[in-house]
A and B are shown apart, each in its own frame.
Chain A
Amino acid sequence: MKYCTKCGASNEDQARFCANCGQTMPEAAAPSVEPVIEPIVEQPQAQEYIPSQEASTPVREDVSAGQTGSYAGPVYTAPQPPVSGPVDSTAADKGSNPATLWLILNIVSTVLCCCTNIVSIIGIVFAALGMTAFNKGDAADCESKTKIAKIMFFVSLGFGVLSLIIGLASGIISSLSEYGSFY
């Protein structure tokens, strides 16, 4: 009787491959009385070893040909890819929220461009939603909402500046015609 170096299943002495896992069996048969497996030494690709047994521990007495599926020897875990969750916690921790600037700008434009403050209010709403999306780690949603907030700001600013220019020009003309000069 010899034992597979990969899965620990018992095989016939003449077996060239493991009946359980297909691993190539060593040519020399292991001693049948007190067989020793050395899976740790022979498998350098193993990533994580749970030290339930030492490498030199003799094979358990209850491992036999009929129990190949219930082998409870050393446990190996396959290499796992790095887990990437939906939340980009690195970006959130940095606090580099792109919507913050547009929230402030829309608040200021709400104040200054009161003729078009409904546009700025929409901008504030989308900037706040963009900040929330950023905090949740949804970068695409944050970007789309920030873009809308940005557009709202520029629309508000454009109309606000236009109305101020018209208002001031009208005021200057009115003042000049009424007083002749400013003083």
Chain B
Amino acid sequence: MTKRGKIAAAALGAAAVFAAISFLWVLKAYPQVIYDLPFDCVWLTYTGHYCAGCGITRAVHHALNGQFYAAWRMNPFLSVVLPLGGVLLVWEGTRRLRGRPSIGLKPWMGWAFLVALVLFTVLRNLPMPPFCYLAPTAVG
């Protein structure tokens, strides 16, 4: 990478970190930004079903305020996957920067994630317990 490329990558990285921190700060501090959106989710509006990601923004808001159970009830699947993905990302990124081999992820893990995603989407839309507890639920 040339010197100009390194500077551009560093500037892009700094901008991304700044944007991410700003975004998380808004999510943490101003819940009405989330709850008072002027439009609803297009998928939910037109299908009446929750997608796999439904509730993740509110879950992040709760998690940033230390309300982990509330975050869990908003989206239990992604409340696990997101921190796990973050850890894996930092781990893999660190190893790459140090020039070390990749972490030992296997291809079947990608397929397993997709199956779990579809399964979670179907189950959380079932109206009977215990599956209905997987739907986005406000607690407290």
Contacts and interface: CB of A to CB of B under 8 A. Distances in A.
Contact of B56 (A97, A98, A112, A171): A112
Contacts of A110: 52-53, 117
B38 A117 contact: no
A85 to B, nearest CB: 21
Given A95-B101, A124-B113, A164-B23, A111 B82 contact: yes
Interface string A90-124: 00001111101101110110111011010001001
Contact of B92 (A100, A117, A175): A100
20 contacts: A95-B101, A97-B102, A100-B92, A104-B105, A110-B52, A111-B78, A111-B81, A111-B82, A114-B54, A115-B42, A117-B51, A117-B53, A121-B117, A124-B113, A125-B114, A131-B105, A131-B106, A170-B39, A175-B30, A175-B32
A111 B51 CA distance: 11
B26 A111 contact: no
Dominant SS at the B interface? helix
Q: Which of B39, B85, B113, B114 has the most CB of A within 10 A?
A: B85
A69 interface: no
A135 to B, nearest CB: 7
B130 interface: no
A129 B108 CA distance: 10
Contact of A129 (B36, B56, B85, B107): B107
Contacts of A104: 85, 88-89, 92, 105
Contacts, number: 106
B107 A132 contact: yes
Nearest to B37: A171
B102 A107 contact: no
B26 A168 contact: yes
A128 B107 contact: yes
B102 A95 contact: yes
A112 B39 CA distance: 18
- Shortest 3 CB-CB distances between A and B: which pairs? A114-B53, A128-B110, A171-B33
Given A121-B114, A161-B19, A175-B32, 12 more contacts: A94-B101, A100-B102, A100-B105, A101-B93, A105-B89, A107-B113, A108-B82, A111-B56, A131-B105, A168-B23, A173-B38, A182-B30
B36 to A, nearest CB: 5
A170 B38 contact: yes
Contact of B81 (A96, A107, A128, A132): A107
A86 B43 CA distance: 47
Nearest to A121: B114
A174 interface: yes
A47 B54 CA distance: 70
Given A96-B102, A111-B56, A129-B107, A170 B78 contact: no
Contacts of B114: 121, 124-125
